[in-house]
Structure 1
Amino acid sequence: MKVILTHEVSGLGTAGDVVDVKDGYARNFLFKRGLATAWTKGGQKQVDAISKARETRAVRSLEEAQSIKGNLEASPVTVTAHAGSEGRLFGAVSTADIAAAVQAAGGPQLDRRRIEVPTPIKNVGSHTARVRLHPEVQATLALDVVAG
């Protein structure tokens, strides 16, 4: 099934790309989360509009993404979470928690969908996360998870 991506999907493409995916993946994941729409002849106009907007933002945001990357990688971000006596969290640290902690620390407002955590954060301590700031720029974010 051909779909038009309306948001960036890790491992698949960026907004405005036309990709061919399996029917179940499109119906059960992409469409339900609003990440894609079905491709039609009329939808090609939508693809053109999305790609044109992306090109105008890309040049301006590349330099901005480089500066944000430097700020994010400069110092670790402290995330407070509820934990038991042995340092095990009640649940896990979500990408929304990470985005809120970055903003509380004086950093930029990040979209939680652009933050990738390689393994679920379920313990107190030091962890890392990756932030996709631009198709060409990714920042590695150092996290200190503390009990609170």
Structure 2
Amino acid sequence: MQVLLVKDVASLGKAGEIKEVKDGYGQNFLIAKGFAKLATNEVLNKYKAEQKKKAEIEALEIAEAKQMQKVLDEITLQIPKKIGANNHLFGSLTKDEVAQYLESTHRIVIDKKAFDIPQIKTLGSFQANVKLGHGFSANLKLEIIAQQDK
């Protein structure tokens, strides 16, 4: 019996491989537990189509990450903060604040968990690393300025 593995199976193979197994092992364990499907032409064609679609989606995500990397590398985000004595901030700059300012000023929505910022407690220029997925990251320039009282 030939089966298409849909999950990795120890001592048999990895997902996507077609394996020849005994009928009882294939029916009673692999197919029953959801580790494999019977390797018919219909199942194989469907699996190949799913893999092709996944590859297309991944290629699109990579292209979007590259484009976002170029955009973010060009941006200098000016963030006004209240300051106290010696140009120290009241509190420190948070990932949430950076994400909100990026969205409000440039209409770019990035989850705050993607930001890796140093602890910022003074005015000045800093760099924030932004993880974009698929191994891509961008360097966002941050400029902390004094907030003008109204």
Give the TM-score normalised by structure 2. Answer: 0.58
Structure with greater strand share of residues:
1
In the alignment, does 2:60 pair up with 1:60? yes
> How far 1:107 moved relative to its partner?
4.1
Q: Aligned residue for 2:128?
A: 129
Paired residue for 1:77? 77
RMSD: 2.4
Q: What residue number does 2:145 align with?
A: 146
1:12-31 equivalences under 5 Å are none
Unaligned runs of 5+ in 2: 1-32, 36-50
Change (3 A) 1:56 1:111: farther
Corresponding residue SS for 1:121: coil
Q: Point out the structure with the larger helix share.
A: 2
Q: Please, which runs of 5 or more residues in structure 1 have no aligned partner? A: 1-41, 45-51
Question: What is the distance in 1 between the residues matched to 2:55 and 2:144?
Answer: 37
Identical pairs, percent: 21
Deviates more, 1:78-87 or 1:67-76: 78-87
In the alignment, which residue of structure 1 is the partner of 2:116? Answer: 116
Residue identity in the other structure for 1:110 = I
1:34-75 deviations in whole A, cap 9, x for unaligned?
Answer: xxxxxxxx9x9xxxxxxx9x8775322111111111111113
1:89 is matched with which residue?
A: 89
Structure 1 residues 84 and 68: CA distance shift in structure 2, 3 A: same
User: What secondary structure is seen at the aligned counterpart in 2 of 1:127?
Assistant: strand
Larger Rg: 2
Q: Following superposition, which runs of at least 4 residues in structure 1 exceed 4 angstroms of deviation?
A: 54-57
- TM-score when normalising by structure 1: 0.59
The residue that corresponds to 2:48 in the other structure is: none
